[in-house]
Structure 1
Amino acid sequence: MRVFVTGTAGFIGYHLARRLLDEGHAVTGFDGFSDYYDVGLKRARHADLAGNPDFTSVEARLETPGALLAAVGEARPEIVVHLAAQAGVRYSLENPGAYVEANLVGTANLVEAVRAHPVRHLLFASTSSAYGGNTALPFRETDPAVTPLTLYAASKLAGEAMMHSYSHLFGIPTTAFRFFTVYGPWGRPDMALFLFTRKILAGEPISVFAGGAAERDFTYIDDLVAAIRGLMDRPPPRPGDGEGPACPGDTLSPVAPFRLVNIGGGHPVRVDAMIDELERALGARAERILQPLPPGDVPSTEASTDLLRALIGGVPETPLRLGIPAFVAWYRGYYGV
């Protein structure tokens, strides 16, 4: 296949591109190398991908007029996976403009590019933060998502809406998926596991919110990529094609070839238990400073996995006791500590 992936210098985009290349597919990677976190880490990811002759790199910003239109037109992909975004729940309180530009304007540019150059399947990365103030667990794709707690979450909900509208208007088979706390080798430095590892090894205290009682549905990167890869082969049918729901609670749109899917394992873990596992992997103890939950954070996340299982036959299963040591091994090797 010819696959166009945005955000290939990012954590998830890098891993997806590497898997696709390993399978023998041609990948065009589009990334703007923003300085939200260490650009050197992003360059290192892309350098690893560039060693494969089937990888083509396009360095440009999502919000630059015409950049995505030209890149998609040149690549002529069969599948587009839109992973690039301004990430981070808390950072959206500091720099809201970055979310408007990348996540709103950038996503609008992406769907316009796909409208001009139709593909077999368009896939869009959303977030579990879209569930916002919803307190019913597990989070089901059919739950109302009308109470976003941050601009980041709101921008991703807007992206889902844009995707659905273009799917309806132009018949683009589209799958939006909501990620749940992804971690693993080559991870993002702004995420808790990465931050905690750096500080523990440096002998610095870590801030633990909600007394460590907050729960997250941690998803190991290889499991996440396997789920995305499975969904790539399951484009939603067009209304009237005769294909029924994959299971009760399927989110197939009645007016568009569009579906929304959670990607998570459905096994939430307390943050203090995650830190316990990290301490074991590092062979070091953390000095924990307990703090209240910050604005925009939620006490618990848990994915309903029924739809994902029905579509691809499985769900993320790697436990923290295996995933965290794998991350620590990568971290020590990459940073030489």
Structure 2
Amino acid sequence: MRVLVTGAAGFLARPLLGRLRDDGHTVVTTDRVGDVDHVGDLADPAFTAGLPDVDAVVHAAAVQYVSADLPRFAQREYFRRNNVVATENLVRRYSGRVGHFLNVGTSMMYDQTGLPVYETTSPMRGTGVYSRSKLEAYRLVEAMDNPTATMVPCIIGGVGREGLFRGFVQSMTQQRLAIIPGTGGHATNMVHVEDAAGLLALIVKEQATGLYNAASPGPLTIDQWVDVIEETLELPRVRRVHVPYPLIKAGAVATRYRVIAAEQLLMLGQAHVLSIDTSLALGWKPEYDNRRAVAAIARYIAGRPEAPAAG
């Protein structure tokens, strides 16, 4: 098939391209920047209307709280333009014109009610400007006049992961200090970027429809993340400082969620674990568990090579 990949210069799409080509697909790429076939802004209707005819689309383009150009103010407009308007234009271009449309969502679309496990059937509700934009984009895709699927990943880790993890790992390596929000005892899922890319490629191959959660086996608590980073980087035991959750919440509210977003705040205060039953039933076989995903981030930030996945 001829497959268009949006956000093709991004963290998730980069490992996906090789997998799609290995499966025999002809890949067409687009992004706002980078070495891609079509450089442009999906929020520009003229650019999106000029994209080529293809058999399938993998829509991985999106902005999030760790995006380099995230503004301090006007974040609602920022997310709406880049996540909703861009998707709306893409849907307008390809609805009824492709055999398969695969969207990348986020686990923050699930209603964060403290469930022990979020299933693909769990209720959805945006709690912040980012998750609301992704949920609106998901509903635009779901209403298309062709078969659609959405992969719902949790925190994506692996080589290239930055965001808050850089400060966390550097604090441990340089100051021998781990600042842990709240109790640090809530299980939080992560998925390695290679496994997330593998699930996307599998969904394309099978032309599957519906929702597919992406999470690595064996969710860990933040306290356990510290254990893994200590072990991976062979650090002497670091001092752990727990910041009370009510204090974090008060700071988030006082700064209008510009330092810690509403969705991030909820994830710090309760478990965030995804069921991957439907993905496993499709034939997905993740190679990395949560320990290896955390270890990969630690090695990357510390400038050490990543260990190969177990065969």
TM-score over 0.5 for the alignment?
yes
Give the aligned partner of residue 190 of structure 2: 218
1:266–1:304: 8 Å Cα contact kept in structure 2? Answer: no
Q: Distance in 2 between matches of 1:290 and 1:69?
A: 51
Establish whether residue 61 from structure 1 lines up as the match of residue 41 from structure 2: yes
Aligned pair partner of 2:130 in 152, 167, 170: 152
**For residues 331 and 77 of structure 1, do their structure 2 counterparts lie closer, same or farther at Cα, with a shift above 3 Å needed?**
farther
- Cα displacement (A) at 1:22: 4.6
Matches within 5 A, 1:124-163: 124-146=103-125, 148-163=126-141
Code of the aligned partner of 1:304: S
- 1:143-190: per-residue Cα shift (whole Å, max 9, x none)? 2213x2211111111111111112xxx2x1100121111100122x21
Establish whether residue 310 from structure 1 lines up as the match of residue 287 from structure 2: no
- 1:232-257: per-residue Cα shift (whole Å, max 9, x none)? 12334xxxxxxxxxxxxxxxxxxxxx
Establish whether residue 84 from structure 1 lines up as the match of residue 84 from structure 2: no
- Cα displacement (A) at 1:281: 1.6
Q: Gaps (5+ residues) in structure 2?
A: 250-261, 306-311
**For residues 92 and 134 of structure 1, do their structure 2 counterparts lie closer, same or farther at Cα, with a shift above 3 Å needed?**
farther
Aligned pair partner of 2:157 in 183, 189, 194: 183
- Cα displacement (A) at 1:287: 4.7
Q: Distance in 1 between matches of 2:151 and 2:168?
A: 27
Q: Distance in 2 between matches of 1:267 and 1:320?
A: 6
- Cα displacement (A) at 1:333: 4.4
Q: Distance in 2 between matches of 1:113 and 1:334?
A: 43
Give the aligned partner of residue 249 of structure 1: none
Give the aligned partner of residue 77 of structure 2: 97
Q: Percent identity?
A: 24
Q: Distance in 2 between matches of 1:82 and 1:5?
A: 6
Q: Distance in 2 between matches of 1:60 and 1:289?
A: 45
Q: Distance in 2 between matches of 1:23 and 1:193?
A: 33
Code of the aligned partner of 1:269: L
- Cα displacement (A) at 1:269: 0.9
Give the aligned partner of residue 308 of structure 2: none
Q: TM (normalized to structure 2)? A: 0.80
Code of the aligned partner of 1:175: A
1:69–1:109: 8 Å Cα contact kept in structure 2? Answer: yes
**For residues 133 and 320 of structure 1, do their structure 2 counterparts lie closer, same or farther at Cα, with a shift above 3 Å needed?**
closer
Q: Gaps (5+ residues) in structure 1?
A: 34-45, 51-55, 237-257
Matches within 5 A, 1:318-333: 318-333=288-303
Between 1:10-19 and 1:260-269, the stretch displaced more is 260-269
**For residues 266 and 130 of structure 1, do their structure 2 counterparts lie closer, same or farther at Cα, with a shift above 3 Å needed?**
farther
Q: Distance in 1 between matches of 2:271 and 2:116?
A: 8
Q: Secondary structure at the match of 1:10?
A: coil
Matches within 5 A, 1:248-327: 259-265=210-216, 267-284=218-235, 285-291=237-243, 292=245, 294=249, 295-296=262-263, 297-298=266-267, 299-311=270-282, 313-327=283-297
Q: Distance in 2 between matches of 1:25 and 1:234?
A: 13
May I ask how many residue pairs the two structures share in their alignment?
282
Q: Distance in 1 between matches of 2:87 and 2:58?
A: 12
- Cα displacement (A) at 1:24: 5.0
Q: Distance in 2 between matches of 1:330 and 1:134?
A: 33
Q: Secondary structure at the match of 1:154?
A: helix
